[in-house]
Amino acid sequence: MLGTPSRDRIAERREATRREILDAAWAVAHEKGIAALTLKDVAERVGMRPPSLYSHFASKNAIYDAMFGQAWTGCLEAMTDAASRMPAEPRARLLWMSHAYFEYAVADLARNQLMNVRISADFEPSPEAYAPSVATFEQARRTMAEIGIRDDADLDLFSALIGGLVDAQLANDPGGDRYSRLLDRAVGMFADHLGL
């Protein structure tokens, strides 16, 4: 008598194909920009015809959704790693967290745009893809609360401050340090404003 198979090879192949499609989508996004992603370009990269992609992703927005989830999952992992090594002093913690996010965000323009810019009027991430974004924000909220920052307006200001520097760096000096050099100064001003 044959035993029950311990592996679902069809599911494994299907998942491998989905990963290959997503890798191709990221490659296209890095070359042409996230908003310029087309199913035709992605299909060509994986050796498929565009209609064949529909057996793996229902639409271009479904690909965006999976990419969005990957991007925020990576951010959550980076921020969790940074939190595990964070210094104890409040200002130092704030700077540590700022640098961890800034570095993750500026490392990949297409990824940052997908995470933080409305790239398409009809794309809205699914609850599943959005969950790591919420978890990242909640982790930041806990860290901020630990150092005495609990007001939602202060959290929003901090987010806008760091996000603005990320956007300025990516738009005006990609790969450089024009705005990254201002990060400590800006966070210091924010900390001074809050009396940290």
Q: What is the pLDDT along the chain (196 residues), one digit of tens a residue?
A: 566 667 677 767 878 889 999 999 999 999 999 999 999 999 999 998 888 888 889 999 999 999 999 999 999 999 999 999 999 999 999 999 999 999 999 999 999 999 999 888 889 999 999 999 999 999 999 999 999 999 999 999 999 999 999 999 999 999 999 999 999 999 999 999 999 8
Tell me, what's the pLDDT at 50?
Answer: 83
Enter the pTM of the model.
0.89
Tell me, what's the pLDDT at 53?
Answer: 86
Could you tell me which CATH number the domain at 67-194 has?
Answer: 1.10.357.10
Tell me, what's the pLDDT at 154?
Answer: 95
CATH fourth-level superfamily of 1-57: Homeodomain-like (1.10.10.60)
Residues of the chain with CATH 1.10.357.10: 67-194
Query: Rounded CA gap, 116 and 140, in Å?
Result: 16
Task: List the one residue out of 109, 97, 82 whose CA is nearest residue 169.
Answer: 109
Contact 196, 147 (CB under 8 A): yes
Contact 187, 98 (CB under 8 A): yes
Query: Rounded CA gap, 172 and 129, in Å?
Result: 30
Residues of the chain with CATH 1.10.10.60: 1-57
